[in-house]
Amino acid sequence: MPALLSMHGITKIYPGVVANDRVELEVLEGEIHALLGENGAGKTTLVNILYGLAAPDGGSIRWKGAPVRIHSSAQAMRLGIGMVHQHFMLVPRFTALQNIILGAGSERRVWLDLKRAAQRVRTLAEQYGLEVNLEAQVQDMDLGMRQRLEILKALYRGAQLLILDEPTAVLTPAEVEALFEVLRRLAAQGHATIFISHKLEEVLAISDRITVLRDGHNVATLPTREASQPGLAQLMVGRPVVLEVKKGPARPTGRRVIEIEGVSVEREHGRDRLDGISLHVEAGEIVGVAGIDGNGQGALLEILCGLSRPDRGRVTLLGVDVTDTSPRRIAALNVGRIPEDRATMGLLPRLSIKENLILQSYARPPLSRWGILRGRQMGEFARRLVAEFDVRTPGVELAVENLSGGNQQKVILARELHHDPEVLIVANATRGLDVGATEYTYRRVLEGRDRGAGVLLISSDLEEVLCLSDRIAIMHAGRIMGVVPAEAADRTRLGLMMTGTPLSALEGG
């Protein structure tokens, strides 16, 4: 049986990096084909080329046996290739139906025929088991429904090959199972799926064949039944080791540096509501907050940083009540914050490294006196930090936006950690970083803890939380489902809690 899709010798070069180096990929009809690799392996580049979002510098593509050159997503869709991106491409103010029909008019019809479209969509939804509320606005939907919507969108346009880019990142374990059901139904009806992931368990559970990429080139293609977790891990990384950080035992002093008591936030749009959260962090320990993105972590973070106020409850940092206060007051406390969005919350991209480094301490001596900044002290300060935190840069006057992601992270770490904070709040800090930068961040965070700081680590990456935390709290729908010590944590229980089963139910039996 000829392959549905065949990509041969695909090469793509960006300035400074070879994203794809003569990559091969073959997908058959009715197959679920996993594309596996670490961050930076070249998976997304490859499918971007397939979907017309990028043009290859070399190689060829054959679709249903015939050679094609894909210039645009519109063309890809016409061929029958659909894509569900990692970050959903949905217009928030539109309804589900509006999003589905956007740009999908086959004939050049001017008038919108919502009734007929809705009919077609409902038929499709039933056929594949995709439950979506057509009248709801996307901004009110949870992530699981948004994903189903994206899949419906692709199917509505007649996709025969569906590309899913890291689809399970935003799903609870139960939703993952539901997604797999849909994929199996698709396969049974002749559709093919490219399933991009770096999560070995899921790849093994759902796929028929696996192609592994590393550093832009093929490493192996094999049937799933012949694959194993350690084997795949080795193929992905090139060495038989997974990220390992030496973590000594915690030594909590009993002094509570972060106290969150009964905090609640009402929000219109459903996501980011908080419902009576209570949590505390002691000096000398790391408390990890795990949970699927969008279950209130964002709201919690905003309150801890003083960017918003809770409707009920109290927050205390280092003994100071900060419930009703401004970011300015919190910044004045000895708190270090590593934010999740480097560009918009952590750094001022157009300003220099030096100016970013002084962001926490510019208002006090020695960096300023009577409102006047002291240039020489600022320069010395910056150079010292750059050396201490190993930031690779030709100089401190360089604009921060010119640094690599890892080095930008180091600037943030340097700024927040150098004054030995007693409290550290870390949120999704390693998103988008490569292995080296991630390891470095972990090391620094652990160092902070060992020096006696209390660390609150919020992350949607369960591995990260398991790796670093001494105690783990699970958030779901704005509530804490339970707090377990790290040694007693196992993925199944955590998974259940992330879906909404409180710890008490699990332990009560």
Partner 1 sequence: MWIALSQLFFSIDFLAASVRFAMPLASAAVGEIISERSGVVNIGLEGMMLAGALGSMMGAYYLEDPWLGLLCGMAAGGMVAAVHAFVVITLAADQVVSGAALNIGLLGLTNFIYRAVYGIEERPIVAHFEPVAVPVLSRIPILGPVFFNQIPLVYVTYGLVIVAAVIIVRTRWGLELQAVGEHPRAADSVGLSVSRVRYLTVIACGLLAGMAGTFFSLGQLHTFIEGMTGGRGFIVLAVVIVANWSPARAALAALMFGAAEAVGLRIQALDLGVPYQFALAFPYLLTLAVYIGLAGRSRMPRALGQAYVKD
Partner 2 sequence: MRELLRQAFAPRSSRLQSVILPLAAVLGALGVGGVMIAVAGFKPLEIYASMLESAVGTPQGLGVSVTNAIPLILAGLGVALPFRCGLLNIGGEGQIYIGALFATLVGLGLHGLPPAIHLPLALMAGFIGGGLWGAIPGSLRAGRGLSEIIVTIMLNYVGFWIVSYLVHGPLKDPESYGYSWTMKVPVTAQLPLIFAEARINLGIVVAFLAAAVSHFLLSHTVPGFEMRAVGAGAQTARFAGIRVGRSTVLSMVLGGGLAGLAGTAVILGVQYRLSDFFSSGYGFTAIAVALVGQTSPIGVVFAGLFFGGLQNGVNSAQRSLGIPMGVALSLQGLILLFMIAGQSATLIRWLRKRRTARRVDSTQPAVLLD
Residues that bind partner 1 (CB under 8 A): 53, 72-75, 77, 83, 85, 88-94, 98-99, 101-105, 109-112, 153
Nearer to partner 1 by Cβ, of 104 and 373: the residue is 104
Among 137, 308, 368, 501, which residue sits at the site for partner 2 (rule: CB under 8 A)? 368
Residue type, 428: N
Residue 488 Cβ vs partner 1, minimum distance, rounded to whole Å: 43
Residue 482 Cβ vs partner 2, minimum distance, rounded to whole Å: 30
Residue type, 250: A
Nearer to partner 2 by Cβ, of 204 and 332: the residue is 332
Query: Cα 255–257–263 angle (5° rounding)?
Result: 120
Q: Which does 15 bind (CB under 5 to 8 A by kind): partner 1, partner 2, none?
A: partner 2
Nearer to partner 2 by Cβ, of 242 and 359: the residue is 359
Query: Cα 209–210–211 angle (5° rounding)?
Result: 130
Contact call for residue 253 and partner 2 (CB under 8 A): no
Residue 416 Cβ vs partner 2, minimum distance, rounded to whole Å: 10
The set of residues, in sequence order, having a beta carbon less than 8 Å from that of 507 and lying 6+ positions away, is none
The Cα–Cα gap between 463 and 490 comes to 11
Q: Which does 44 bind (CB under 5 to 8 A by kind): partner 2, partner 1, none?
A: partner 2
Residue 117 Cβ vs partner 1, minimum distance, rounded to whole Å: 11
Structural contact between residues 100 and 150, judged by C-beta atoms closer than 8 angstroms? no
Q: What is the DSSP letter of 250?
A: P
Residue 90 Cβ vs partner 1, minimum distance, rounded to whole Å: 6
Q: Which does 373 bind (CB under 5 to 8 A by kind): partner 2, partner 1, none?
A: partner 2
What b/e string do you get for 446-455 counting C-beta neighbours within 10 Å, with b at 16 or more? bebbeeebbb
In 307-454, which ranges are continuous DSSP H helix? 327-332, 353-357, 375-388, 405-417, 435-450
Q: What is the DSSP letter of 113?
A: -
The Cα–Cα gap between 334 and 117 comes to 57
Nearer to partner 1 by Cβ, of 57 and 380: the residue is 57
Among 240, 372, 376, 487, which residue sits at the site for partner 2 (rule: CB under 8 A)? 372
Nearer to partner 1 by Cβ, of 74 and 245: the residue is 74
Binding mask 12-31 for partner 2 (x = CB under 8 A): -xxxxxxx------------
Q: Which does 101 bind (CB under 5 to 8 A by kind): partner 2, partner 1, none?
A: partner 1
Nearer to partner 2 by Cβ, of 145 and 258: the residue is 258
Among 288, 296, 406, 421, which residue sits at the site for partner 2 (rule: CB under 8 A)? 406
Per-residue CA distances from 472 to 117, 140, 499, 505 (Å): 46, 29, 15, 17
The set of residues, in sequence order, having a beta carbon less than 8 Å from that of 380 and lying 6+ positions away, is none
The Cα–Cα gap between 183 and 148 comes to 11
Nearer to partner 1 by Cβ, of 111 and 370: the residue is 111
The Cα–Cα gap between 404 and 490 comes to 35
Query: Cα 474–477–478 angle (5° rounding)?
Result: 75
Per-residue CA distances from 446 to 242, 283, 417, 439 (Å): 18, 12, 12, 11
Contact call for residue 55 and partner 2 (CB under 8 A): no
Nearer to partner 1 by Cβ, of 109 and 225: the residue is 109
Nearer to partner 1 by Cβ, of 75 and 325: the residue is 75
Q: Which does 103 bind (CB under 5 to 8 A by kind): partner 2, partner 1, none?
A: partner 1
- Stretch of residues binding partner 2 (CB under 8 A), selected from 94-102, 138-146, 204-212, 399-407: 399-407
The Cα–Cα gap between 170 and 293 comes to 6
Binding site for partner 2 (CB under 8 A): 13-19, 39-45, 305, 307, 326-332, 337, 339, 344-352, 355, 359-360, 362-363, 368, 371-373, 375, 394, 397-399, 401-407, 432-434
